[in-house]
Structures are given as C-alpha cells and as structure tokens.
Amino acid sequence: MTQEKKGMVIFMAEIKVLPQDIADKIAAGEVAERPSAVVKELVENSIDAGADRIEVEIKNGGIRYIRVTDNGCGIKESQIETAFMRHATSKLSSIDDLYKIGTMGFRGEALSSICAVADVEIITKTADCEEGIYAKFSRGKCSQKDKLACGEGTTMVVENLFENIPARMKFLKRDMTEAGYVNDVLSRIALANPGIAFSYICDDKEIFSTTGDGSLKNVILKIYGLDHAKGVIEVIYKEDGAEISGVIGKPELARGNRTRQTLIVNSRYIKNNVISKVVSEAYRNSIMGGKFPFFVLNITVPLDCVDVNVHPAKTEVKFSDESRIYEIVYHAVNNALYGKIKKDENKVTEQNVNREEPVYVQEEMTHKKTDSFYEPRRETVNPKEVKAFMESFSPEDEEKRENLNRESEAIYSTVDFLSENRDVYQVRETDLEPVITEKSEPIEEAVIKKTPSPIGQIFDTYVLCQSGDTFYLIDQHAAHERARFEELKASYYSKEKMSQILLVPIIVRLDLSEYQTVLQNSEIFSGFGFDIEDFGSGSVIVNASPLVGGEGELRDLILEICDAVETRGGMSVAEFEERALDTIACKYAVKANKKLNPAEMQDIINKVWELEKKSIKTCPHGRPVKIEFSKTEIEKMFKRKL
C-alpha cells in the first residue's frame, strides 16, 4: 500500500503484533525514561511498602548504578517473579479502585519496565519469613534466586541502564546533569514526605539526608538551606473538603524560574502550571514581574475527586472540579501571605525601624479584578488550626557557617559598590546636603556640551540637572546599570579580567540544584570573573568575583546567574552572555530609593553624558535613563507661553 504525503511516497509495511521484548522496551521508555524516573518509581514503591527510612545511592548519574534500600514490608518469595511481570501490581484489583487510588503506584509497570532496560538485583525479606531472598533479573528474565540472611525490607539495585538500547542511551545527558535530575526528584519526594527519613548518596558522597521527624521546615532546611527554612510562611487552609497545607516563601525568596515550586496532591508530587500561576496571582503586587515565589504546597482532596491516571509517569493529575481547586489555592496563599505581611508591617511601625528596611509590599494589596475569584478574603485562618509544624531548629554547622560569613561580611561592609570611585567620594563625604547650583551665565555652545552639575535629587531616585535650555530628570538606577553594563560588556568581550580578588574568601551556601549548577558551569562563572571552588556539602567558596560584596550580595548574584543558566533554553550565546552581564550590572548599580551625595549625583550625570556620546539612551531593559523637558515646554505648562 502507498500513501502520498507532502509529495513523498510512503510504503506502508504489513501490520504485525510486536514481539513482547520490543513492546516492553517501547513501554519501558515511557516509565524508565532516565535514571531519575527509575529512582522515582523505586522510591514510590518503597513508600507504598510502608517504609519510613529510604536510602538512595547512585553512581555516574544513575546510569551505571542505582540502589534503593527501604525498611518496608518486603516481597514474599513466591511473589518476586510476578512483581517483575508487566501489569503486575498488588495495589489495584478492580476498575473501581482506579478512582480512589491512595498509593503512589498502581499501573504495575515500573519493575517490568526497569528490568527490560537494565540489570536488576533485589534483596527482600518480609516480617513473617526467617530468611530473605536474593534474585537477579537481566533483560527481563530471572537468572538467579537464592536465600540470604538480611533485615526486613527491600533493596533494589539497577545497573547498566539502557546498555541494551544505544539509541536511548544517546538521549541521556552528562552524569552530573542526570544526578541533578535525581536530586530534584528525590528532593520533591522528601518534601512531600517529611515523615520519612531519606538519604541520598551520589558517587560515594552524601548529598542530603532528612530526619523523618515530620517537620516540613526541617526538610526545607536540608534541601534549600537556612534562608529558606527561615523565610517561609506557613499555610493551612480548609475549604469545601479540600485542605491546603505547607509553606510559601516570603517575597524576597522569589526567583527567576519555577524550579523551587513544589506542588503535592494527596502526597504525590505533581506538575501543574495553572496552580503555579494561581499562586503567583495571589502574590501580585508583592513580587516583581519575572520572579516566581517559592512554595511547597500540599493539596489534600478526597481520593475520588482527583484522577491520577492521566500521565504515564504520574506527574500530572486531573481534578474533578479544577476551577474550585484553583480558587481554594488562591485563598489559601493569599490569606497566609496577607496575614503575614500585615503582621510584619505592624512590627516595622512598632519598632520604628528605619524606613529603608526592606518591606515586603510597597503598595497596599489591591486587586483590581472584581471577579470574586480574585477577591482576597480578609478573614485569617484560626491560629488554633495551625499545627506547630514549624519547629525550632539550630543545627550547629549552619550556625558556624553563618558566623564565619558574618565575619567576612563585616570586613566588606565598608567596601561598597562605589569603591572604584572612592577618591571622588572621600573628597565630599560629609557634604550630604543637595547643592543648589545657580547657573546664571549666558548659555553658550561650549556650556551645553559640558557635563552639567547636579541640582539635587528627588524621591531619593531621580537626579536633576540642567544643560542649556533643557532640564533633565535622570533615573539613577537605570543610568548606573546601563553604564556598568557597557563597561562589563567591553571588558568581557575584550577578555579583560573583570574579577576582583576578595581579601577574605567568602563561603556561600547554596541549595542542591544551585550547587550543581555552579559546579557544572564553572567555565561560565569564571568567564564572568568568578573564582569559585567546591567547599563541600552544598557550599562553595568564592575567591574572586566581578563585584566586591558580602555573602548576601555574592549569593544573590550567583543565584541570578544560576537562574539565567537554568532558563537559558534556546537562547543564543550572545543573548545569554548579555543577560548574565546585565544581571551583574544590575546588582552592582546604585538602587532607587537611595539618597546620594553630590559627588555621587555628579558621577551618575557623567555616566549619562558618556552614554549619550554613544547614543545610548536606555537601560539594558529598554527603560529610559533620562527624561528631558525643554524650557519652552515648561513655560507652556505654566501658561507663560502658548
């Protein structure tokens, strides 16, 4: 038979039923797509087996070796071979069960898929048997089975993944990248199960371990570090039979991508972009555009209100009443955030703290949409309902690290971003009052071209000056950022060294994915002037950086570059480099809402005039660096002229 398609002639071969081994390999591709998917399936089996202690070890990104050991119920000797057959499961027996699934697994596909594409060994023992069993499966067949003395529970070892499918092997990434995916999957599962003690070992190094004490905050501490554990707001909310619990990050934890958002539905980690958007919507007005809030949210709904059988890897679910769930999530997040911010605002006024202290929301949270969905509910949740799951913690090593960094920060507190202009500032350091310069000389061509002096600053953000018949309002941040961006670009492309050696190296604590991003992309970081070394256990030591600063500033900068690397996608090299350089420029640049002294104002004006020579009129994001008003325009405004 032939078919015409887009001018090509396609010869259709005869239709045949595929041999079992090919069919299994095809099916396996969906379930055991890469090492992280294998780890996910094995760990989910351990959770279903009732384990409260699960250890995961991988080597070479899991491609060569994956081991998952649990203290669950084990598998009976008579059932071992059945467990490895396709569609073999102990979790589902009738079609009705499919609509009330309370286990992680139910499709009976994982073990058969994994052993179709790798060598698998299992050691398992149930409580009622004296001895355990060791069995070996290669290419889907049991090749060895012996009795063995061992503890209760199961160990699965998966080796040589995809060795028999070279085509699929090609799709795997570098070991480090695959290890990163495993890390991501395990982190999410640990966040979804604070009652289970997880430990994750990669190439003989322990990457993280959780205590299993039931505290979500403790899991966050292990995975994302102290700033996240301290920077979260608890959420507990019930409406219409659904319960939303977990934590959301304070606005300052928001990052440039969604990788630090974890959504859990009935204990299952899933992906759902709509819910992620709903959460962002609830943060509206308190987070800058392009930033995404941190969260770990559990949605608990009756089992029959959610279909978990819509995705082969079970990473998506379908709610019976989706829009209702979105509404409830919105209310839960908004209530938690709104309540918290209100409290913090009170604290700020009570203690009469300096106005320049970071305040989470500049504007009152006003939601313009009138639709009831977006109407924030002002009632706060009954505090008695709030479980005391945010227990106190103060692991010693975290404290020590913090102290060490605080010491280094102290040394740098006097060296700020303007250090390169130190000589200028020292001259007029005490002269902080804006100077009103009077220019009454006749305006000549030469004067117009000369860089003007500052008249003053308004709203601690805009620098004023006049040149000839024109009055200028300069956005200090936009101007400084653009000037710095141009300098950085020039030195980056001329391969000049743009790094500053730090007097005292600074230790920066990162979360696991950031840590891996930094280590895997060390050339990118060194290209931008960083000298960063691995300091072990999720920390790096920064010896040199493109800007001088304390741990906080350097960490922010590293994180922004990580975000840029993680979301690089199809960006061209030049686009990516410019984005990263702009990130550095932006961090370095003087902020809005900062009072400047006259020398600093002059510096900003000089920069704008330098940019003008190159016809550069905007910041790297396209915002103008200055706005002009001609004398005539002003006269017209005052009706002096028509």
Binder of residue 106, out of Mg ion, ligand ADP, none (CB less than 5 to 8 A by kind)? ligand ADP
Contact between 110 and ligand ADP per CB under 6 A: yes
Angle at 101 between CA 99 and CA 102, to 5 degrees: 150
Q: Does 110 bind Mg ion (CB under 5 A)?
A: yes
* 156 DSSP β-pair partners: 68, 122
Give per-residue burial for 585-602: e unless 16+ CB within 10 Å, then b.
Answer: bbbbbbeeeeebbbbbbb
Contact 293, 248 (CB under 8 A): yes
Q: What token pair was written down for 429?
A: 């350091």
Nearer to Mg ion, 137 or 292 (CB): 137
Q: Is 75 in the site for ligand ADP (CB under 6 A)?
A: yes
Both tokens of 533, joined, read 């070394």
- Give the integer Cα–Cα distance in Å for 560 and 552: 12
What are the tokens at 610? 């330098």
Stretch that binds ligand ADP, among 88-96, 163-171, 225-233, 329-337 (CB under 6 A): 88-96
Question: Quick one: 74 or 251, whose CB is closer to ligand ADP?
Answer: 74
Asked if residue 27 lies in contact with residue 96, where contact means CB atoms within 8 angstroms, the answer is no
> Which one of Mg ion, ligand ADP, none is in contact with 541 (Cβ closer than 5 to 8 A by kind)?
none
By CB under 6 A, is residue 57 in contact with ligand ADP? no
CB of 107 to ligand ADP, least distance (A): 5
Tell me which of 56, 58, 83, 611 binds ligand ADP, using CB under 6 A. 83
Question: Residues 132-171 vs ligand ADP: string with x where CB under 6 A?
Answer: ----------------------x-----------------
* Nearer CB in complex with ligand ADP: 90/300: 90
- Which residue's CB is nearer to ligand ADP, number 87 or number 277? 87
How crowded is residue 100: how many other Cβ atoms within 10 Å of its Cβ?
12
- Write out the two tokens for 14: 């005869």
The single residue listed with the structure tokens 């279909």 is 307
Task: Spell out the residues 6+ positions from residue 398 whose beta carbon is closer than 8 angstroms to its own.
Answer: 221, 225, 226
Cα–Cα distance measured from residue 428 to residue 324, given in angstroms and rounded to the nearest whole number = 61
Indicate the SS3 state at residue 386.
coil
Stretch near ligand ADP under the rule CB under 6 A, chosen from 109-117, 336-344, 531-539, 584-592: 109-117
Q: Please, which residue, 110 or 305, has the CB nearer to ligand ADP?
A: 110
Return the residue of 37, 49, 63, 223 that touches ligand ADP, per CB under 6 A. Answer: 49
Q: Does 89 bind ligand ADP (CB under 6 A)?
A: yes
Please, are residues 189 and 198 in contact by the beta-carbon 8 Å criterion?
yes
- Contacted by 46, from ligand ADP, Mg ion, none: CB < 5 to 8 Å by type: ligand ADP
Core vs surface per residue 373-391: b (16+ CB within 10 A) or e: eeebeeeebeeeeeeebbe
In the complex, least distance from residue 79 CB atom to ligand ADP, rounded to whole angstroms: 7
The option from Mg ion, ligand ADP, none interacting with 73 (CB < 5 to 8 A, set by class) reads: ligand ADP
DSSP assignment, residue 541?
A: E
Distance between CA atoms of residues 155 and 69, nearest Å? 4
| Of residues 201 and 348, the one with the C-beta less far from ligand ADP | 201
Question: Closer CB to ligand ADP, residue 70 or residue 582?
Answer: 70
Task: Check binding of 45 to Mg ion (CB under 5 A).
Answer: yes
CA nearest 301: which of 283, 280, 277, 317?
A: 317
Among 52, 64, 77, 88, binds ligand ADP (CB under 6 A): 88
Q: Taking CB within 5 to 8 Å according to partner kind, which of Mg ion, ligand ADP, none is near residue 111?
A: ligand ADP
Residue 65 CA to residue 75 CA, distance in Å, equals 22
Exactly one of 59, 64, 91, 617 binds ligand ADP (CB under 6 A); which one? 91
**From CA 135, how far away is CA 123, in angstroms rounded?**
7
Helices marked H in 133-235: 166-169, 175-192, 216-224, 226-230
Q: Does 312 bind ligand ADP (CB under 6 A)?
A: no
Count of residues engaged in binding ligand ADP, rule: CB under 6 A = 22
Question: From the list Mg ion, ligand ADP, none, which binds 90 (C-beta under 5 to 8 Å, kind-based)?
Answer: ligand ADP
Binders of Mg ion in range 90-109 (CB under 5 A) = 105
Asked if 261 interacts with Mg ion (CB under 5 A), we say no
Q: 34, 146 in Cβ contact below 8 A?
A: no
Q: What is the DSSP letter of 207?
A: E
Residues that bind ligand ADP (CB under 6 A): 41, 45-46, 49, 70, 72-75, 83, 88-91, 105-111, 154
Residues that bind Mg ion (CB under 5 A): 45, 105, 110
